[in-house]
């Protein structure tokens, strides 16, 4: 493997064969992250704000395990189950990226389980 797996302590169990993050050189790729806890239970049922917060906190934990932070994120891929949640997701997202936000896209997509409202994958460059 060209990179080093990044697996934070108490991270959610993977729903498929993947690592929460991979570091290759100074770049960290964070897998699509969902609102699930260490026991595999969905966080924030029906609440996109709670799920967005949990997802971004989980991404932050992966980056911290690699020696970085959300300030190192250069790109986010955001998937929403329902685009009517776009505004609410952005309210929380803005708290985590208040200035100089990373590049991103946001699309509507069916997520792996019906309970999930948002999924975010990130790319970070560590200095």
- According to DSSP, the residues that pair with 125 across neighbouring strands are 27
pLDDT band at 1 (very low <50, low <70, confident <90, very high): low
What pLDDT is attached to residue 10? 84
Owning domain of residue 49 = 4-125
Please give the tally of structural domains in the chain: 1
For residues 7 and 36, give the distance between their C-alpha atoms in angstroms, rounded to a whole number: 15
pLDDT digits (tens, 9 = 90+) for 2-38: 899 999 988 887 778 889 999 999 999 999 999 999 9
Looking up residue 109, the CATH number of its domain turns out to be 3.30.1330.40
CB 4 within 8 A of CB 67: no
Residue 42 has a pLDDT of 96
Give pTM, 2 decimals: 0.95
What average pLDDT does the structure give for the chain? 95
Q: Residue 18: its pLDDT value, please?
A: 86
Separation CA 106–CA 103 (nearest Å): 10
Distance (Å, whole) CA 21 – CA 14: 11
Crossing angle for the helix pair 48-65 and 86-96, to the nearest 10 degrees: 30
Tens of pLDDT along 70-86?
999 999 999 999 999 99
């Amino acid at each position: 493997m060209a990179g080093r797996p990044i697996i934070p302590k108490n991270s959610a169990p993977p729903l498929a064969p993947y690592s929460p993050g991979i570091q290759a050189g100074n770049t960290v790729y964070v897998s699509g992250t969902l609102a699930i806890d260490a026991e595999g239970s969905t966080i924030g049922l029906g609440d996109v704000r709670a799920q967005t917060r949990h997802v971004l906190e989980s991404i932050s934990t992966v980056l911290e395990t690699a020696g970085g932070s959300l300030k190192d994120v250069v790109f986010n891929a955001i998937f929403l189950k329902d685009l009517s949640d776009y505004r609410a997701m952005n309210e929380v997202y803005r708290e985590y990226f208040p200035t100089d936000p990373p590049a991103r896209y946001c699309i509507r997509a069916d997520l792996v389980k019906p309970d999930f409202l948002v999924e975010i994958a990130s790319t970070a460059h560590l200095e």
